[in-house]
């Protein structure tokens, strides 16, 4: 993702050798994440209990957005080098849309976790998933449609920093900054606010005498879940704001190591969630058996 997001604010101080290494790291990480994300979808589809979980349905939408992002990002240089203008326009539109959809579902993850942990652990919103989907998939489509309607020439071949390679993306620097970095900035600030508010709320509940031991344990577990998931869903992208001057190259390396592996990290978290769910079901079954005996 570094090619479509990070170099927009990086300087030209990155050497050609570093650029090649970063490209290799990014490609390897994205490929690994793509495989892990596809496996995650398969696990979701084949597990009836997981499919019934509303939270998992929210997570799987982010997984699908990341799959689309990786699918359109990995062949981006090949498409720019060998494709026609029409195909390049499609590739640029798809890459922009999938990137915005990823940001959108990151924000919805923060919103969902806030409702789940802060709203007294009980929430019911009519057609909740439908409304989330309209925002998660609809807002990115609206932004891309607006850009291409104003001037489809804003999409085309873009040269990478210190490289002869090109990708199909947004040509206009201002449009690129506003619709990519600007959108992510809003998502990043929103998720950080949700994280702080939720942690403060849960820690406050844990300190009250009326808060039972069972609820206190559930709250602590919720905080751990929130910290883990929110860290995976956008916090590392914030490295883009700390990559100026002497920090440009180290920031790029951190960014290109952590972010392309985001899908792989989500896969690990998903597998751990399945194991915890299985252990909980086993424990409940054991307690029921003992009680009946």
**60-109 pLDDT, tens digit each:** 999 999 999 999 998 888 888 887 788 889 999 999 999 999 999 999 98
- What are the helix (H) ranges across the chain? 16-46, 48-51, 54-73, 76-82, 85-118, 128-150, 173-176, 183-206, 213-230, 248-258, 262-292
| b/e code 66-86 from CB counts within 10 Å (16+ = b) | bbbbbbbbeebbebbeebeee
Q: Please tell me the predicted confidence (pLDDT) of residue 148.
A: 92
Q: Please tell me the predicted confidence (pLDDT) of residue 10.
A: 45
Q: What is the dihedral of CA 235, 238, 74, 102, to 10 degrees?
A: 60
pTM given for the model: 0.82
Domains detected in the chain = 6-272 (1.20.1070.10)
Closest Cα to residue 5, out of 65, 59, 73?
A: 73
Q: Please tell me the predicted confidence (pLDDT) of residue 287.
A: 30
Q: Please tell me the predicted confidence (pLDDT) of residue 41.
A: 94
Q: Please tell me the predicted confidence (pLDDT) of residue 163.
A: 59
**Rounded distance between C-alpha atoms, residue 266 and residue 279, angstroms:** 20
Q: Please tell me the predicted confidence (pLDDT) of residue 283.
A: 37
Helix axes 54-73, 16-46, angle to 10 degrees: 140
Can you tell me which residue has the tokens 């972010």?
A: 259
Spans of the chain, pLDDT less than 70: 1-14, 118-124, 161-164, 202, 204-234, 240-248, 277-293
CB 109 within 8 A of CB 230: yes
Contacts of 16 (CB under 8 A, 6+ apart): 162, 163
**Rounded distance between C-alpha atoms, residue 114 and residue 111, angstroms:** 5
Closest Cα to residue 186, out of 125, 106, 123?
A: 106
Contacts of 145 (CB under 8 A, 6+ apart): none
The values of phi and psi at residue 20, to 5°, are: -65, -40
**Rounded distance between C-alpha atoms, residue 137 and residue 59, angstroms:** 14
Q: Please tell me the predicted confidence (pLDDT) of residue 225.
A: 60
Q: Please tell me the predicted confidence (pLDDT) of residue 32.
A: 92
């Amino acid at each position: 993702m570094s090619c479509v997001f990070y170099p927009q604010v990086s300087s030209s101080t990155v050497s050609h050798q570093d650029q090649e290494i970063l490209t290799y790291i990014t490609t390897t990480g994205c490929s690994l994440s793509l495989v892990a994300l596809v496996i995650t979808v398969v696990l979701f589809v084949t597990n009836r209990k997981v499919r019934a979980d509303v939270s998992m349905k929210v997570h799987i939408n982010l997984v699908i957005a990341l799959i689309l992002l990786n699918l359109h990002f990995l062949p981006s240089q090949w498409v720019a080098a060998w494709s026609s203008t029409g195909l390049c326009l499609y590739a640029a539109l798809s890459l922009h849309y999938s990137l915005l959809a990823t940001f959108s579902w990151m924000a919805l993850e923060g919103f969902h976790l806030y409702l789940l942990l802060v709203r007294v652990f009980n929430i019911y919103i009519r057609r909740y998933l439908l409304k989330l989907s309209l925002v998660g998939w609809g807002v990115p489509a609206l932004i891309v449609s607006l850009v291409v309607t104003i001037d489809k020439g804003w999409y085309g071949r873009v040269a990478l920093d210190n490289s002869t390679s090109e990708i199909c993306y947004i040509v206009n620097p201002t449009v690129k900054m506003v619709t990519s970095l600007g959108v992510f900035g809003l998502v990043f600030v929103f998720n950080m606010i949700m994280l702080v508010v939720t942690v403060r709320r849960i820690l406050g509940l844990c300190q009250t005498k009326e808060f039972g031991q069972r609820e206190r344990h559930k709250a602590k577990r919720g905080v751990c879940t929130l910290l883990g998931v929110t860290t995976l869903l956008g916090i590392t992208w914030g490295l883009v704001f700390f990559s100026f001057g002497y920090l440009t190259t180290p920031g790029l390396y951190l960014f290109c190591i952590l972010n392309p592996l985001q899908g792989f990290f989500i896969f690990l978290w998903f597998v751990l969630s399945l194991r915890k769910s299985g252990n909980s079901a086993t424990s409940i079954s054991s307690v029921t058996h003992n009680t009946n005996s």
